[in-house]
Amino acid sequence: MNKVLVTGGSGFLGSHLCDRLLADGHDVLCVDNFFTGSKRNVAHLLSHPYFELMRHDVTFPLYVEVERIFNLACPASPVHYQHDPVQTTKTSVHGAINMLGLAKRVKARILQASTSEVYGDPEVHPQREEYWGRVNPIGFRSCYDEGKRCAETLFFDYHRQHDLDIKVVRIFNTYGPRMHPNDGRVVSNFIVQALKGEDITIYGDGSQTRSFCYVDDLIEAFVRMMESPRGFTGPVNIGNPGEFTMLQLAEKVLSLVGGRSKLVFRPLPADDPRQRQPDIALAQEKLGWQPRVGLEDGLKETIAYFRQLLEA
């Protein structure tokens, strides 16, 4: 048993990670300020003897005794991170500094949940970890993209300067139960619109691509990365290399939900990447990991969750 801190632990990914860590026999401290996370996501854990929930903002120091830190705290969808872009950057940067300082003090291993957005609108396809990216540093998405890039910088500087035991993963589009229904992400958007019988909104002409990883697969990669040998820092791409256009995703959702929703097209947002697909060769080699859940099976689980949520 390890004492494990999960920042952003009541969010979409964080709550699934807490489930997994408790199932594996760990003692879990879930920290969240509930800006995008929800107590509903961890309500079923509150009576667990090895689970503790703490309201805290990672932009302020935290003094606890732990052996593992998963740093997931940060709004991860444009709707939320553009609501307060300064706070978003502070969450990534100050949050990283505070969690790294904690890890240094208690000699904990720490994992940073970074993002495929560090690659920006890529000139290289699929994206490998060696690619440095093509990011607009002053755009509307920059608070998130550059905040995560700076967090990676801090992690590797702490590793080099203080010999801190770090792990860095770059998350590609992930979906599944407990996604926020109004987070503006394409999977939740399409499913909620289809379930309500509303038009399906597609930005651009629908030819832009994304790769979708089911949440259970992602959490498995988190656990494997955290327990990988010391000295293997990453960064490692974590995602599903299956690539789909937005039109293909919309048609798949409509076929699974049914109904009479129509496709409507809107202008593409600024700096929205045209392509996104991970090269996961490193994860396969070092972690023995690859996704197992196909898009249709994952969408069925996600649709069932949102159907229940909307009915409630």
Mind telling me the catalytic residues?
144
The whole-angstrom distance between residue 138's C-alpha and the CA centroid of its chain comes to 23
Q: How far apart, in Å, are the Cα atoms of 203 and each of 114, 178, 180, 208, 268?
A: 25, 24, 20, 9, 5
**Structural contact between residues 185 and 306, judged by C-beta atoms closer than 8 angstroms:** no
CB atoms closer than 10 angstroms to residue 179: 24
Of 85, 75, 68, nearest to 33 (Cα)? Answer: 75
Q: How far apart are CA 47 and CA 191, in angstroms?
A: 32
Q: How far apart are CA 60 and CA 64, in angstroms?
A: 13
**Structural contact between residues 30 and 53, judged by C-beta atoms closer than 8 angstroms:** yes
Torsion of CA 95, 101, 104, 110, to 10 degrees: 0
Helix (H) or strand (E) holding 216: helix 215-226
Tell me the pairing of strands 68-71 and 109-115: parallel
Helices and strands, counts by H and E, the chain = 9, 13
Which token pair is 268? 């593409």
